[in-house]
Every structure is written in structure tokens, then in C-alpha cells.
Amino acid sequence: MGPTNDPSHMPTRDTVRIAAVSDMHYGKQSQGMLQSLFSQIAERADVLVMPGDLTDYGLPEEARVLAREVSVLKLPIVAVFGNHDYESGHAEEVCSILADAGVRILDGDGVEIRGVGFAGVKGFAGGFGRRALGPWGEGIIKNFVHECLHEALKLESALAKLRTERLIAILHYAPIQATVEGEPLEIYPFLGCSRLEEPLTRYPVSAVFHGHAHHGQPEGRTRTDVPVFNVSISLMREVFPDRPFRLVDVNVGSRGPDDPGRRSGIDRRASERETTTPTI
């Protein structure tokens, strides 16, 4: 199955359609603000992925507002926390509230849904490529770098435990620089870290979803050509003004190890992405 020009087209039984959107920053007054978005997702997708910053300040009352919104969705919801969700020190309570509404929060673990394995971590900062911060000097710098290494190891562990042919990675922080480009250069190191890319090169990951970079790029590639989608809602509103979320079809039909489409996504320019749904 290839890309479709009909965004309302529903996948066949051999595909699972994923809707992904992040950085919704739900606050106490957010009730109903994204009702239209969730209605569109319910009509078009089989699974909803939310890569972090679900709440604005990580408060239980914010989580309750979001829980009421998503509790009416009759589809699986998989998420990770972002930095905002930890702000007030109530992450465990926020997680419990959302879990009661049917949201599966991943943190170094995975879940299989309709033949697709989802592995998730928050990730962390640190920078990209040769400019990534190294664990040298003061202890606080070493601790900063080790936090990202720890998150990368959690992601690797989650991917290793899944036994599905199709693997989807969910992070809040970006694992590659390409999807944060457009943000001020000065904040690149705080938007993600290329150490998070390492696990994605060692396992047959089909796609990666992340958020956090509100003004970055909607799509990039790992060095092993895995598509990486930045699904921050502010960016999605620019790229997909009629439906501010990413749709991706995952082919779960029988495919051999030599299938050239196993790791591939669909290369599209931003203008084309508005009317196509990539299949991976």
C-alpha cells in the first residue's frame, strides 16, 4: 500500500494508521480546546501517539482536564512525558490519572498494539554530532551527559524486549538535529541529543515520533534512513492546517527481511505532506 491523496482514507487490515501529536500543554482552562482535533483523530486513526508535554505545569488538575478529553476516544493511546510534565513534581499522580483514562505512558518500556511494537522514553538534552556535550570536567556536567546516556539505554532496553517486526520509537526530545532546525541555534543542545539515535540504529525501527522543537522541521532521517517525525502541535498547525497532527500508515502484512520498504518512509516536501499519508 502506498501513500494516499485522500486524508480520510482508512487503512486496510494489513495497515495500522497512527496519529501523532505532541506538546499540547494542557492547562486548567484547556477543556474543549482540542475537541475538534480529537474528533478528527478518532475518525481517521487506529492508534494515537502523544510524545510529551501533555500538561503545561505537570499538575494533577491539568491531567484531569486532558483525561476527560481523551477518555471518549475509542482507540489505544500511547504517550511519553515531556519536561513540562515533570515541572511540579507530581509525575506519578499525573501518570495515574492519565492511565485511568486509557493512556499508556511509556518510560523505558514498550507495548504491542495490533502487531506494532511501541517503545518510549522521555529522552534528554545534550546536543548533536561533534558538538554534543561530553562527560568531562565538573561533576554536574558529567551528570547531565549521563542522564541522556541513561535515557538512551532505557530506549534500547525497551526496543530489545519487543518481538514485533514493526517497531515505533516515541521520545519527547529529538534524536537527530534535522528536525530541530529552524529553532534558534543557541537552544539546539537543549532540544535533544544524538546519543538517543544510537538505539535507533541497532534495531529495525520503522519510524520515530518526537516533539519539544515547536519551530523545527516536520521530518528528518537517522543516519540509517529511519524516518523521524517532529509532531509538535504548533508545527503540525503550520504543515497540516486542516488537521494538526501527523498520520502514518504502518504496514503489518507479511514482509520478508529483504523487503526494501522495511525501513523506508516516503520522501515528501512540506507542501506535499499536506495531502499525503506516508506508509512505512
pLDDT value of position 10: 52
Spatial CA neighbour of 51 closest among 123, 99, 108:
123
Instruction: Give pLDDT tens digits for 33-78.
Output: 899 999 999 999 999 999 999 999 999 999 999 999 998 899 999 9
Instruction: Give pLDDT tens digits for 11-30.
Output: 557 899 999 999 999 999 99
Quickly state the pLDDT bin for 254 (edges 50, 70, 90). low
Helix (H, G, I), strand (E, B) or coil at 198: helix
Higher local confidence (pLDDT), 131 or 5? 131
Helix (H, G, I), strand (E, B) or coil at 257: coil
The residue-averaged pLDDT of 207-232 equals 98
Q: Are 137 and 187 in contact (CB under 8 A)?
A: no
pLDDT value of position 265: 39
CA atoms within 13 A on the CB side of 29: 0
Has residue 6 got a pLDDT over 90?
Answer: no
- The share of the chain scoring above pLDDT 90, in percent, equals 81
pLDDT value of position 272: 34
CA–CA separation, 17 and 195 (whole Å): 29
Where are the alpha helices (H) located in 106-186, listed in sequence order? 139-161
* Grid cell locating 68: 476527560
CA–CA separation, 80 and 103 (whole Å): 10
- The share of the chain scoring above pLDDT 70, in percent, equals 88
Spatial CA neighbour of 252 closest among 73, 39, 47:
47
Q: Are 247 and 7 in contact (CB under 8 A)?
A: yes
